[in-house]
Structure 1
Amino acid sequence: MISFTIYPEKKSAAFRRIHGMNLAAPITHAGHCRVLSDHLRKLNIPQTRMHDCPLNNPGKMLVDIPCVFPLEHADPFKEENYIFGDTDDYFANTLSYGTTIMYRLGVSIDHSGFAHHTAPPADPSKWVEIASHIIDHYNNGWSNGFHYDIKYWEIWNEADTELPILWKGTWKQFIDFYCFAAKALKSRHPELKIGGPSMAKITSLNGSAFLDFLKGCRDQQAPLDFFTYHQYSDKPQKVIAAPAKIRAVLDEYGFSQTEIHLSEWHYHAGWGSQCDIGRQKKLQQEMVGPHSAAYLAAVLSRFQDEPIDMTHYYTGSTGGGYSLFSNFGEPHCGYYAFDFLNRMMETERIEATVDHPGTTVLAGTAPNGTIYILASCFKTDQDDLAFSLEKGDIRTKHWKLSVIDVDGEKRDLTKDIRFEENRLIFEKASGSMTVFLEFTKP
C-alpha cells in the first residue's frame, strides 16, 4: 500500500507558477487555432518560449531572425526590410490567452540537411542591430509596432552541440558571440533580461562546455540574467536534481542573481535512429501516454521546492510525441496533468507526505475550503493507494476522484473505492497514474 497523508492545518511554502511552454497555438488554420487557444487558456501558462515557431506554422515567416529579416545584405535601419506581419499575428493570439512571451533570438533547428541559417552571424554588430529593432518593434512601438513589454530575450539555442542543424561553428565562437551580443543588447535595453544559451549538454554539469560558458561571461563581463538549459529524460529524479547543482555552479562563478530556466524538457525514453520507424512510433506513443503525464506531474511537483525559476515544456502545441495535442487538436495525457497542476496553483499550499519513493504529492486548500490533492505514481507496481487527512473524518466529506489511468484514459473513479480507518483507498494497476482528488465539506 502507498500511503498519502495530508495536513490541512500545516501551511507550506506558496505555490509558484513555473509551468511554461514552448510554442503557442499555431496560426496556420483559424479554426484549429481557436480550439488549441481555448485549451491553453485553461492552463494559465505563465510564459511561452518562442522557439521552432516556423516549424509548427508551415508557410509562416515567424520569430527567427532570418524570417523577420530575410535579406541578410539589407539595411537594418529601414522598416521595409523587416517582415513582422506573421509574428505580429502569432504573438497577438498567444497573448490573448493570458501567457507572457520569451523571445528566442536566433534560428530554429534545421533538420533538412542544408541548414542555411545556422552559421555564426558574419557581422555580429549587424545582428545586434536587427535584434534591437525587433525588440523596439514589440516593446517600443517601432515600425507600427507594440508595447508588449516582453522581458525575456534569449540568445540562440543548443549551440553547445556544435551540430550544423543548430550552430555551424565552435562552442568558443558561440561564447564570444553571446558575450558580444548580450553586452550590446543590455546596453541598449537595460530594462530587459538577456540570457541563454539553452544548453543541450547540461547533464554534464562539471563538463567544460558549461564552465567555459560561465568563464566567458564572467571574464568578458557579459550579462546572464537567466541561464537556460534542456533536459530530455525518462528519469524524473535526474531532472529534479539538476537545478540545485546548476545553482551551486552559477553561484561559484559569480552569477548568484542569475535565474534558472529549464527551457526544453519532455518525458523521453531514448533517441535511437530516426530511420527506425517502428521504434520511433513506439517512442512517440509513449511520449504522449500515461508515463509522460505522471512524469511531468512528478517533476513540476518537486520543482516547487527546487531553485528553478521557470520551465518550458516542449511543446504546448501539436507535433508528434513532443506535444500536448494531436494534429486534430485532441488533448494528450500531459494536457490533463497540466490542468490538474494549474488547479493546484489556485490553492493555499498545505503539507503532504507519501511513503513511496516513486511517487510525489502536492496538496492545497481552496478559498471555499475544498482540499485539492495532486499525486503522481510513475512506473509503480500494482498497489493500493490510500489517502488520509491528519485531522477530521474523511468519510464525512464529499469527494471527487479523477485519474489519468495506466491505460492513458482520463476518467472519474466512482466504483471500487473503499474507506478503512479514515482512509480513502483504491487500487492502481501496474504502470503510471496521475491522481487528482478533491475533498469538500458536506
Structure 2
Amino acid sequence: MSLTHETSQTVRSVHVDASAVSAWKPLNGVGGIPGPATGFEQFPDLTPIWREAGVSVVRSFDWMSRLDTRDNPTSLFPDWAADPDDPASYNFTATDEWVEAVHAIGAEVLFTVASSIPKNKLPAEDIEVYGRVVEHVVRHYAQGWAGGPAKPIRMFEFGDQPDLGPLHFAGRPEEFYDMYAAFCAAVQRVDDTLIIGGPAVAFPLNADAAYREGFLAYVREHGLPLDFFSFLWFTDSSRDPLNFGYVADDLRRLLDEYGFTKTELMLCYWNYLSIPTSSAPSDEKGAFQVATAIALQDTAIDSAFFFRADSGRDPHYGMVDPAGVYGADGPDERARALILAGRTMTGQRLAVTGGDTSGFACAAGRDGDTVRVLVANFVAPASALEKRESDTFTFRIPIGEQRIELSLDLPPQRAELASAGVTSAHVSIANLPWAGRTVSLTQTALSGETSEPREARVSETGDLELDLAITPQSAVLLEVTA
C-alpha cells in the first residue's frame, strides 16, 4: 500500500495490480465471548459473525476462564486446598464449551492464564502448587487430560495488564516474574513445543517500567522462553489508526535490544476506544476499525486481536463495554467492519496505491475467482486534532465506587491525521486474469447495504475501472467475481 497526503483532493485514485501478489499477515484474531455456555446462558452466539469474518484465533481472557489465585467457585481451580492431581478439583465445563465453539468455526484458541480480575489481583500464595495447577490446566487443553477438548490448544499466554497496578495485579513485580517462571516450567513439562508468551502490557510506551524492561531482563537472566511479547493499545487519547505501528516499532527495537530477536510481537487487544466513559458514533468506530485493520498489515506486529468482538457484555465488571460490536438493536457497523476486513484479507494480498496517512485506506486481495477491493474513509474527530499539551495521557477508570487514575505515554501527535476530505474514489484494477470477459460486481457498505450484482466487461488487456462513493466515516467492499 502506497501512502500519500493530498489535502485538496476529494476524489482519490485507487490502483490495484492483480498480478502483484503477496501474503497477508495473520492478524485476524479477536477477543470476546463466543456465546452461551453452561452457567452463562445470557451471552449471544457470536460464532456466525466470526465465521463470516474468517476469524482465525480467539483470545480466551474475556471468558470466565480465569485461574484465580484465591478460592473462587467460578475459577478453573475453585479450591486451593484441593488436590491438584485430581480431575474433580477443576472447573472446566463452560470453558470447554467455549473452546469447542471456537474450534467449530475453524479458529484456534490463545489461552490466557490470569487471575479473576477485578475480584482478585493477588499473587500466588504457594508458587509450587500454582505451577502444578497450571500444568494440569495446560495438560487438559493441550493433551486432553481429564476429558479435555479433542483438538489441542497450542498457544498459552501469561498475564493481562499487570502494569494497571491495583486494577489487575496487586503484587510486587518480582512476584509476577516468579509466577511467569512457574507458568513456563509448567507448560514445558506438558510439551516443550507449545507456544509461550506474555505479559499483555497496558502501557507499552512507558519506558524503564517493571513489565517492559524489568520483565525482559528477568526472562533473559533466567533463560525463560518468550515466543511472543504481548501488548495492547487503544486510541481514546489520539484517534489515530497509525499509532499501532509506532508502538510496534518501539517494542521491536526494545525486544531486539534485549536479545529477543526471534520473539514475535502480539497485539493482544486493539480497538478505537476502551475507557468506559469514552464514546463515538458506531459508523466512526467502524470506519476506524477498517482503516486500522488495513494499516496493521504494514507494521512490525506479527499477530493481532480485535477487542472485543462480542456484545460488550462483561461478566467480570458487570457493565457493557464500549468496545463491543453490538448496538441497541444488535450487531452494528463494528460487526460489519470485522466482516468486511476479514473477507478482504483472505487468499492472496494484491498491491494497492491510493491510501493516505489521514484515514483514507485501501487494500485488495484475491481469493479464487474473486478479487476484493476494500476502501475506508475514517475521519478523526475535531478533538483529536487540537494540539495537546503533553504526550502523557492521564485518565480515570471508574470501577464500582473506585476511581483509578492512570497515565500512559503516547506516540507523537500527527498533523497529517486531519482528513483530506475524500468523498469518492476512482478504482482501477490492472492485470485481471479475466481479460475480455464479463464479470459480476457487488458493493457492500459499512451501513449494511449490499448492491444488486451488475455486470462489467474487463478490457482485452485485463483492466477494469469504476467509481465508488466513499463518504466520511464509511467503508465499501467491492467484489469482482469471474
Give the AA of the match of 1:387.
V
Q: How far has the Cα of 1:31 moved from its partner?
A: 8.7
Q: How far has the Cα of 1:22 moved from its partner?
A: 0.9
- Sequence identity of aligned pairs in percent? 22
Evaluate the alpha carbon distance shift between residue 382 and residue 299 of structure 1 in structure 2; reply closer, same or farther with a 3 A threshold: closer
Gaps of 5+ in 2: 1-9, 313-319, 380-418, 453-463
Give the AA of the match of 1:388.
S
- Bigger proportion of residues as helix: 1
Q: How far has the Cα of 1:424 moved from its partner?
A: 2.8
Partner of 2:445: 403
- The answer to whether residue 372 in structure 2 is matched with residue 367 in structure 1 is no
Q: How far has the Cα of 1:263 moved from its partner?
A: 0.6
- Cα shift readout 1:264-307 (whole Å, capped 9, x = no counterpart): 11111x73xx6xxxxx3xx3453xx1222222212221222322
Within the candidate set 71, 75, 86, 1:78 is matched to 86
Partner of 1:107: 115
Gaps of 5+ in 1: 55-61, 275-279, 415-421
- The answer to whether residue 250 in structure 2 is matched with residue 245 in structure 1 is yes
**TM-score, with length taken from structure 2:** 0.76
Alignment of 1:377-416 (within 5 A): 377-379=377-379, 380=419, 381=421, 383-390=423-430, 398-404=440-446, 409-412=447-450
Q: How far has the Cα of 1:194 moved from its partner?
A: 1.4
Give the AA of the match of 1:313.
F
Partner of 1:97: 105
Please say if residues 24 and 94 of structure 1, whose CA atoms lie closer than 8 Å, have aligned partners that are also in contact.
no
Q: How far has the Cα of 1:205 moved from its partner?
A: 5.3
SS of the counterpart of 1:410?
Answer: coil
Alignment of 1:269-418 (within 5 A): 271=275, 280=277, 283-284=278-279, 286=281, 289-319=282-312, 320=320, 321-326=322-327, 330-354=330-354, 356-358=356-358, 359-368=360-369, 370-379=370-379, 380=419, 381=421, 383-390=423-430, 398-404=440-446, 409-412=447-450
Q: How far has the Cα of 1:250 moved from its partner?
A: 0.9
Q: How far has the Cα of 1:3 moved from its partner?
A: 1.8
Evaluate the alpha carbon distance shift between residue 200 and residue 35 of structure 1 in structure 2; reply closer, same or farther with a 3 A threshold: closer
The size of the alignment, in residue pairs, is 403
- In 2, distance between residues paired with 1:322 and 1:378? 17
- The answer to whether residue 28 in structure 2 is matched with residue 19 in structure 1 is yes
Partner of 1:200: 202
RMSD across aligned positions (CA): 2.8
Please say if residues 394 and 424 of structure 1, whose CA atoms lie closer than 8 Å, have aligned partners that are also in contact.
no
Partner of 2:54: 44
Please say if residues 24 and 48 of structure 1, whose CA atoms lie closer than 8 Å, have aligned partners that are also in contact.
no
Please say if residues 36 and 45 of structure 2, whose CA atoms lie closer than 8 Å, have aligned partners that are also in contact.
no
- Cα shift readout 1:406-431 (whole Å, capped 9, x = no counterpart): xxx222368xxxxxxx85334444x3
Partner of 1:277: none
**TM-score, with length taken from structure 1:** 0.82
Within the candidate set 136, 139, 143, 1:140 is matched to 143
Please say if residues 101 and 150 of structure 1, whose CA atoms lie closer than 8 Å, have aligned partners that are also in contact.
yes
- In 2, distance between residues paired with 1:227 and 1:305? 18
- In 2, distance between residues paired with 1:401 and 1:85? 43
- In 2, distance between residues paired with 1:366 and 1:37? 22
Q: How far has the Cα of 1:35 moved from its partner?
A: 4.5
Q: How far has the Cα of 1:318 moved from its partner?
A: 1.3
- In 2, distance between residues paired with 1:136 and 1:24? 23
Q: How far has the Cα of 1:224 moved from its partner?
A: 0.8
